[in-house]
Amino acid sequence: MNNIESLLKTVDEKINTQSIDVSSSEILELIEHNFIELDTPKFNTILSNKVVKSIANKIKELEQIKNSLGSSRINHKQRIKISSNIHNLKGLLKDVFNEYKNNLKENELYQLYEKEENEKFSNYEDKIINGSPDEDAIESIMYPTYFDLEKIQNLSSAIKEHFMSLNLDKDNYNFAKDRTISFYKKTKYSIDTISIVIDKTNMTLKDAETKLKKVNENEIYEDENSIPFNLYDYYHQNVIDLYYNLDNLNKHKKILINLFKNLTKNYSYLSDLGILPASKTTVFGDSNFEVVKQLALELKKEGLVSTQTTVNDLIEMFTLNIDKPANKINLTNGTLNDFGYLILKMKPFFVDSINNSTNYSDWWSERFTFNSKDKNKKSVSSTISDIQQGRRFPSKKQTLSKIIESLKPIPQ
């Protein structure tokens, strides 16, 4: 029996078996043998008219049988068995399409599959850009209050693989390039848009926190319909919702930035577009890194950081980032009171998501050591409080005040 006969016999046996275990490896191996032995036109004909057509016809037949069984419980096991066979046969057909797409360009079934795949990934692109993995899911309706991190991360992985596969197809280079560039631009636009939303949400949060502080916790108000409500509870819930929104917006932005960087790294033609790298934000809430650079230079000049610490290290540390840094920066050449005074005076300049009492001490504790000693957030918070209450005093107040001056261009 030659390879052609062996292939067709195996395909027939596999697609007509009653077992749900439809393995594709043996068929793919036999297809490969024929690919090596036969001339291209003959191989393409056999693959298209015998293999692909047979599998597709069997899938159609099984789907018709499944539909004829209706929804009666008596046929439940049979429907499950048929569904499994359909699933495995579709997987086999997909493997054949992906492995031999260049040989199936003229095949109508492959063309339909390719069209559906492109539409599917176009839909994936829209979902990750909008942060909404499912159209009918609560995440889509309530974004950014609801955000499914795992689903969006999975979409990101699928999109990376899709563009890699697309760009490996040299016969469709222009199509792949156009699709990649289009998505690249959409991703950059979405990153910039989310950055603006984050800034506005921070401002709204600051306003809500200010209102919350002014409201009596137990005071009852009436709305326009004379219905009583607790204004404190209202503002408190508003603050909580805004924090959730900020957290989800930053998570979404981080995924898009990583995706943007992945595309930039893997497809050199994107560099020719002149699109600036995905925007970064300082911990002070804007993109003015000149101010951060000046702060870094002042810290270096006054010897408040170790000599091994570079200006770029400090700039990176004062860049808004959800992740904890791999290494801490050591504050030196000063007392704990000096560092506490510096931290206290810098607090008003930080974004609201950091400068609240809990996060602020934690931020410094996670990123800095003090004369080579780690301090937990409780210790940092205690030092700040002692300085604020006048129980402790800095020894380098004039020097530290000069450093604070470098932050004055930042609106408080």
Rounded-to-integer distance, Cα 111 and Cα 114, Å: 5
Q: Which amino acid is at 273?
A: L
pLDDT tens digit string along 109-140? 988 988 888 788 788 888 888 887 666 555 55
d(CA 102, CA 91): 19
Identify the pLDDT of residue 394: 93
**pLDDT by residue (tens digit) across 339-369?**
999 999 999 998 877 887 668 898 999 999 9
Most confident of 49-63, 119-133, 223-237, 274-288: 49-63
pLDDT tens digits, residue range 14-64? 777 654 454 678 888 888 888 888 899 998 999 999 889 988 998 999 899
Q: Choose between 370 and 195: higher pLDDT.
A: 370
Which comes out higher in pLDDT, residue 221 or 78? Answer: 78
Strands (E) located in 67-117? none
* Of the candidates 96, 348, 337, the residue with the CA atom closest to the CA atom of residue 206: 348
pLDDT of residue 126: 84
pTM (two decimals): 0.55
* 118 Cβ contact partners less than 8 Å away, ≥ 6 residues apart: 179
137-193 pLDDT tens trace: 555 567 777 788 888 899 899 899 889 988 888 778 888 899 899 999 889 888 888
- For CA atoms 195, 199, 204, 210, the dihedral sign is positive
Q: Which two tokens stand for residue 175?
A: 């199509």
Strands 228-230 and 220-222: antiparallel
* d(C-alpha 334, C-alpha 330), whole Å: 11
For the chain, the average pLDDT equals 85
Pairing of strands 368-370, 329-331: parallel
**What pLDDT shows up at residue 388?**
92
Q: Among residues 286, 397, 296, 305, which one has the least CA distance to residue 345?
A: 397
pLDDT for res 300? 93
Which residue reads 């603050």 in tokens? 239
Quote the CA–CA distance of 79 and 305 in Å, as a whole number: 69
Tell me if residue 92 falls in helix, strand or coil.
Answer: helix
Closest CA to 392 of 379, 406, 373: 379
Q: Which two tokens stand for residue 129?
A: 């850009």
Helix pair angle (108-130, 231-266), 10° resolution:
130
Residue 320 CB coordination number (10 Å) = 20
